[in-house]
Amino acid sequence: MSVTTTQVKRAFKYRFYPTGEQAAELSRTFGCVRKVYNMALAARTEAWTRQERVNYNAPSAMLTAWKKTGELAFLNEVSSVPLQQCLRHLQAAFTHFFGKRAKYPRFKSKKKSRKSAEYTSSGFRFRDGRLTLAKMRDPLDIVWSRPLPEGAQPPTVTVSQDAAGRWYVSPLCEDPSVKPLPATAAAVGVDVGLDHLLTLSTGEKIANPRHERKDRARLAPAQRRLAKKAKGSANRAKARQQVARIHARIADRRRDGLHKLTTRLVRENQTIVIEDLTVRNMVRNRSLARAISDAAWAEFRSMLEYKAAWYGREVIAVDRFFPSSRLCSACGTLQEKMPLHVRTWTCDSCGTTHDRDVNAAQNLLAAGRAVSACGAGVRPQRSTPGGQSAMKQEVLRREP
C-alpha cells in the first residue's frame, strides 16, 4: 500500500469568550453571511430554472451591487471577507451537486443552521498568539487548550457559535506532527451494534456508553419545560438554550469516546474492516432511531476514515448485503435462518460454537482481506429474502 507524505491541513478548535461588543459584531456577521448566502442561492436557482449555469463571479458582482442599495446597506457594516467566503462555499456546494456528490444546496435557516463565519488571512491578524478579527479593536479572549504547531500561520480562521451559546474559533493549519505510522501486519474486523457499540474480530466487545440515555433524566424535564413556554418569548429562548446545553454535553462525551476508540484502532491495525451501513435509512425505524443516533455509527466511520488517511492505514467497507451473521467463520457454511434472539449458535457442518457478533466481525475481516487482495468489491448473495442485511436485522430488535 502506497503511503502519501502530503502535509495534512488540520483545524484546531478552541473556546473563546467574546466581549459584548465582539459578540454583537459576530452576531451581525453571522446574520449577513446567512442573508448573502440565501440571496445568492436564490439568484443561482433562478438561473438554474432558465438552464443557465453561473460561477462565483456573478454572485460576487451581485454582492457589490447589493451593498450600494439602501435596503442592504447594512452589509457594509461587517467585514466583506466572510461574505465573499460564503459565496465560495456556495460555489463549492454547486460543484459537488453538478458532480453528483451531493444534493442541491439548501437555504440557511435562522434557527437551525450553524452560525459561523470564515475569515481568510486578509480578514484577521495573528501575532504572538493573539487573534484579532477585522472590524474589531481587541483580540479574542481564546482559551489555548493545546498549542498550535510551531510557527503556524493559519490561512483561514472560522468563528462559530453552537446552539448552547458557546463560542469557538478554528484556525486551519498544516500539522507536521501527522505522519504515517510504521506499517504493521495487524488487521481487525469491526461489527457495530446497540448492545455492544463495537465487537472486534479478536473477540473483544466494547460496551455501548449510551450517553443520551444516561442524561435522559435531565433532558426530558428540560424539554417539557420548553414545550410549555410561549413561542417567541424570552423564557422560551432560555429554556431552548438549557435543552441545547444538555445536548451539547451529550455530544461532547460521545465525540470524545469515539475519538479515543478510532485513534486506538488506527494505531493498532494496518487494515480495519467495517460494514457499509446506510445509517440514514436505519434511523427511519422510529422505535430505534434514538438508540442508533446515540451510537453514532456514521460519525465513527467518518473519524476512522480520515484518521486512516492521515496515518497511512486502510479502511475497507464490506457490502451491506454480506451475510456476516449467518456465515460460519470456521468452515464457510451459510445457515438458512438466524433468528434475532439467537446470540450464540453451533454450525451444523463443523460443530463450531459461535458468538453471533464475534463471528460476524471475523467474517467481515475475511471478506475485507479478500477485497484487499483482489481489489474488487464484495457483494455476496443477499442475507435475507427482501434484501435486508444482518445488520439491518439487528436494528429491528428493540433495545434491552
Residues taking part in catalysis: 191, 275, 357
Q: Given CA atoms 210, 214, 217, 223 in this order, what sign does their dihedral have?
A: negative
CB 328 within 8 A of CB 284: no
SS3 81: helix
Alpha carbon distance 78, 75 (integer Å): 6
- Give CA–CA dist 367/383, Å, rounded: 15
Cα–Cα dist 344/357, whole Å: 9
Of 249, 259, 260, 299, the closest CA to residue 279 belongs to: 299
> Residue 368: exposed, middle, or buried by beta-carbon count in 10 A (0-12, 13-18, 19+)?
buried
The dihedral sign for the CA sequence 260, 262, 266, 272: positive
Residue labelled with grid coordinates 487494515: 271
Strand 271-275 relative to strand 314-318: parallel, antiparallel, unpaired? parallel
> What are the angstrom distances between the C-alpha of 395 and each of 200, 283, 329, 400?
18, 9, 22, 12
Residue 14 gets the label, from left (phi > 0), alpha (psi -120 to 50) or beta, of beta
Q: Is 17 left (phi over 0), alpha (psi -120 to 50) or beta?
A: beta
3-state secondary structure of 146: coil
Report yes or no: 108 and 37 within 8 Å, Cβ to Cβ: yes
Residue length of the chain: 400
Report d(CA 273, CA 379) in Å as an integer. 15
Rounded distance between C-alpha atoms, residue 114 and residue 89, angstroms: 14
Taken in order 17, 20, 22, 23, is the CA torsion positive or negative? positive
Q: Which residues pair with 15 in a beta bridge?
A: 143, 168
